[in-house]
Amino acid sequence: MLLALNNSLDVDSKESLELIEEATKRCRTIVQKLMTYAKKPLETAEIYELNLLNVIKNVVLFLEYQLGQDNIKIIVDAKENAYSVMGNQNELEQVITNIVLNARDAIRQIKKGGNINISLSKSGEWIRIEIKDEGIGIPQEAIPKIFDPFFTTKEVGKGTGLGLSICQSIVEKHNGLIAVKSEPNKGSIFTIQFPKAKERKIANSKV
């Protein structure tokens, strides 16, 4: 670190800067490992047919009490019982959990309580998930950068800027798509689409 080489600094300051540099290197290594894992192609053993409705139900069960503390309710709208895709359930639950928690944070910024609506639908060969909140929304100039690593609209210390980037990586390695629409003070809608199971072709799969 160049500052640590500054001869005008006292010993304590130099030691502090060296500690900061080491911590920064460790953080960089952790982040690189996280991003590498998120982008790692799915192995055959990790892939199986699953029902996205069950994925969402598991997330609701996991977060229901936590969100209830903020008087926030998750409402699920699914016209059918089966929305089959091929993929890894743990990773897909991670995506939904992250977006729902972001929705909670957005709601808490402007009011006490509200709803997060999750809908499931089918369109052609795709299954579509929409997650809609009643939160503060995302500034229009921030939307093109919302999936960039380390970009966050949250206050300093309240967001790493990695959650949505990792979500995008997971969705894309499932051959899916993710997008967002938002209006300030009116909320956001995250849309995720996955190919239906019968049409699914997994990269690097030996099946």
Model pLDDT, residue 28: 60
pLDDT digits (tens, 9 = 90+) for 167-184: 999 999 999 999 999 998
Model pLDDT, residue 67: 95
Tokens of 118: 């999750």
Percent of the chain with pLDDT over 70: 70
Quick one: which of 199, 28, 202, 172 has its CA closest to 95? Answer: 172
- Cα 129 from Cα 96, distance rounded (Å): 9
Q: Where are the alpha helices (DSSP H) in the chain?
A: 11-39, 52-68, 89-108, 163-173
Full set of structural domains in the chain with CATH: 3-39 (no CATH), 44-199 (3.30.565.10)
Better pLDDT: 155 or 106: 106
- Cα 127 from Cα 117, distance rounded (Å): 17
Q: Is the pLDDT of residue 92 over 90?
A: yes
Mean pLDDT, range 20-25, rounded to an integer = 65
Q: Is the pLDDT of residue 88 over 80?
A: yes
**pLDDT classification of 148: cutoffs 50, 70, 90:** confident
Which of 73-87, 88-102, 189-203 bottoms out in mean pLDDT, i.e. has the lowest? 189-203
Quick one: which of 129, 132, 117, 98 has its CA closest to 194? Answer: 129
Q: Is the pLDDT of residue 80 over 60?
A: yes
Distance from the Cα of residue 97 to its chain's centroid: 7
> Residue 63 in contact with residue 96, Cβ under 8 Å?
no
pLDDT digits (tens, 9 = 90+) for 155-170: 544 555 578 989 999 9
> Residue 53 in contact with residue 120, Cβ under 8 Å?
yes
> Residue 37 in contact with residue 46, Cβ under 8 Å?
no
The DSSP letter of residue 80 is S
**pLDDT classification of 3: cutoffs 50, 70, 90:** very low
Better pLDDT: 82 or 46: 82
Percent of the chain with pLDDT over 90: 56
Tokens of 50: 């699953």
The neighbouring-strand residues paired with 74 are 116
